Structure formats: structure tokens, C-alpha cells
Amino acid sequence: MLEGELSDPRIAPSYVTDVVLAPGGKSARIYVAVYGNEEEEESTLAGLMTARAYIRSQLRERMGVRHVPDLTFAIDRSEKATGRMEELLGRIRKRERKQVAANAEPSQVTTTS
């Protein structure tokens, strides 16, 4: 549904990463990851919140159920954080390899007899 059925230009390319249903099933929080910067994340969130009623009606129709929970949307930044952590860990590994290589080189000191 996010890929093309919502025609709001504020909604950037995005995908659902998680859905948390509240006990009792009266509300659900949908976590969405957005391909884009922080400004695009905020505009996507605003567009999704505006389209809530339409999304609920489509879910009700497609799932064939009488009740669909109230929907709230949240931006999932966990993948971006994971990517950043991987980048930092890569830098640390690179630094460690350089240190090991520097320590492994034999000293260039020559002795004369």
C-alpha cells in the first residue's frame, strides 16, 4: 500500500518494519523506515497520519474483519543507527589493523660490531 496506492506527494519511498498491537487490539503502532533524510521522514510521517482513515478502511476491506485498530505511525531509525554503528566499527577495525601492522614490523635499528 505504501508503494503506490497513497498518492500523497509527502510520502517518500518507505516500508513497514514492525507493527506493535496494543493489548486488547484497539490500537496499533506501525514503524516505518524511510529512504531519505530527516525532512523526508517527517513529511512521510505527516502524510501517513493524514491517510490513517483511508489505510484503516483498506485494511478492513482487504482483511475482511469488522474491527481494525486505531493506527499511529512512527519512524523506525534502527537500520540507520545500525548502519552508523557498522561504519564506526569498521573504522575501529581498520585502526586496529594498522596498529598491529605497525607493531609487527621489525625495528629498523642496525647494530655495528
β-partners of residue 31 are 18, 74
Q: How many domains does the chain have?
A: 1
In a domain, 4, yes or no: no
What is the per-residue pLDDT across 38-52, written as a single tens digit (0 to 9) for each? 899 999 999 999 999
Burial class (CB in 10 A: 0-12, 13-18, 19+), 69: middle
Please, what's the b/e burial string for 25-55 (b: 16 or more CB within 10 A of its CB; e: otherwise)?
eeebebbbbbeeeeebbebbbebbeebeeeb
Torsion of CA 83, 6, 72, 17, to 10 degrees: -30
- CB 26 within 8 Å of CB 54: no
* pTM for the predicted model, two decimal places: 0.66
Q: Which domain holds residue 34?
A: 14-77
3-state SS, residue 64: coil
- CATH number at 46 reads 3.30.300.20
pLDDT of residue 88: 74
What's 27's DSSP letter? E
Residue 52 in grid coordinates: 490513517
What percent of the chain has a predicted confidence (pLDDT) above 70? 82
Within-domain flag for 2 = no
36 falls within a domain: yes
